Amino acid sequence: MFNIKLDPNESIHDQIISEIGRLISLGILEPDEKLPAVRETAKELGISPNTVQKAYAALEKSGLIYSLPAKGSYVSSGGKAAEAVRNEAAEALRAAMRKAAETGVDRAAVDDIADEIFGKKL
């Protein structure tokens, strides 16, 4: 279910968190939708169930998912999860843009990067 490529530059734990956050923010994982079981995900990715459990725990702590004992983990309801992921991404973007401005990257370069990522406006 998850598109995780096991990038050696990023921990598997962080990749699981990022991928689930991405799927929630895009609405692919909907509120109250059940996530795959820890053991199922671990087996599919060929990793330790402890790694998946820790990632799920971090997602729960951030409010993106919730768990029900003996039932599994679910996407938080009310659209708050997707909003939280977008807010976190926007804050990371602010920090990156602040750093770019402080190091001399000009507005034209920022606009070029935005056009590259979002597609050029007509």
Nearest to 63 by CA among 96, 99, 24: 24
pLDDT tens digits, one per residue of 63-94: 889 999 999 999 988 666 677 778 888 888 99
Nearest to 5 by CA among 33, 60, 46: 46
SS (H, E, C) 59-72: HHHCCCEEEECCCE
Instruction: Select the CATH number that applies to the domain covering 12-80 from these four: 1.10.10.10, 1.10.260.40, 2.115.10.20, 3.30.565.10.
Output: 1.10.10.10
pLDDT at 122: 44
Q: Say what the pTM is.
A: 0.69
